[in-house]
Amino acid sequence: MFDNFALEGIDAGEVTLRVRHGGRGPAVLLLHGHPRTHTTWYRVAPVLATRYTVVCPDLRGYGRSDKPPTTPDHAPYSKRAMAADCVELMRVLGHERFAVVGHDRGSYVAFRLAMDRPEVVTALAVLDSVPIGEALARCDARFAQAWAHWFFFGLPDKPERAINADPDEWYRVGDRNTPQRLGAENFADFRHAIRDPDTVKAMLEDYRAGLGVDRAADDADRAAGRTLACPTLVLWSAHDDLAELYGDVLEVWRPWAADLRGGVIDSGHHMAEEAPGELAKALLDFLP
């Protein structure tokens, strides 16, 4: 897995991140979602590395990256804090400007990074998401039923107890998540993460921040008329529910990005694992 990539812990200021990086050329940062780690990119990153320098961290709180103490407003797990980690990580690796690709929760970090630091982001690709502020503003009974975990994870204490009582059952190990579907090493990394109570706590803090400080950041940008300054690619899974919830997904994103393109990937939610070839091609066609 990740042949010819280096694996190391890198000091990103407030936290040390576990990072895999390799390849040569312009830099691309790949950000995973919940409950994965950077290893979810194991079939995509090597393809991109034929043309790019590819950097794949575990986000703060996830995998084997640091898990700082939280605060009552959950700001240490805000997408702004995670985005700042990423900027410092890339600076340490020698990349002052770079493209960023994010999936699921990682897409919110990628979006926040491009909004907060437009001078460093050359292109943005978001996979299976709309901005957090948009999702919550458009929330209806259908969304609340389909994405009930957002609101359950926002509760204090109970989600930790529920997940840690049987993490394999909660995350459908042996059903949706198997070594055959994820790949043996990626599966092992995923399973190590979900069985670590500190990681579970930190992943939940990500969601708690999403309902509060992250939504506030999106709403403030929208009220101020701030938009993305870079080319933006939106991809969504044919067999997930984004189009079912929002209809024309690009219309949700259009107020945020003047240079917008996108389309469907023929996969379930974890497209980097389920359709790596199609995803890698779409990214290669888009990235500068």
Catalytic residue from among 74, 95, 103, 269: 269
Cα separations in angstroms, 174 against 75, 124, 261 = 34, 34, 36
Q: If you count them, how many residues does the chain have? A: 288
Q: What DSSP designation does 199 have?
A: H
The candidate with the shortest Cα–Cα distance to 31, out of 76, 71, 79, is 79
Distance CA 159, CA 211 (A): 15
Inter-residue contact 40 to 59 (CB < 8 Å): no
Q: Which residue spans within the chain are E strands per DSSP? A: 6-11, 16-23, 27-31, 53-57, 98-103, 121-127, 232-237, 260-265
Would residue 104 show up in a list of annotated catalytic residues for this protein? yes
Distance CA 127, CA 104 (A): 6
Distance CA 143, CA 149 (A): 11
Q: For the chain, how many helices (H) and strands (E)?
A: 16, 8
Would residue 269 show up in a list of annotated catalytic residues for this protein? yes
Angle 208-110-71 from CA coordinates, rounded to 5°:
30
Distance CA 193, CA 186 (A): 11
The candidate with the shortest Cα–Cα distance to 127, out of 274, 284, 278, 272, is 272
Chain centre to alpha carbon of residue 126: 8
Catalytic residue from among 58, 104, 206, 240: 104
Catalytically active residues are 104, 269
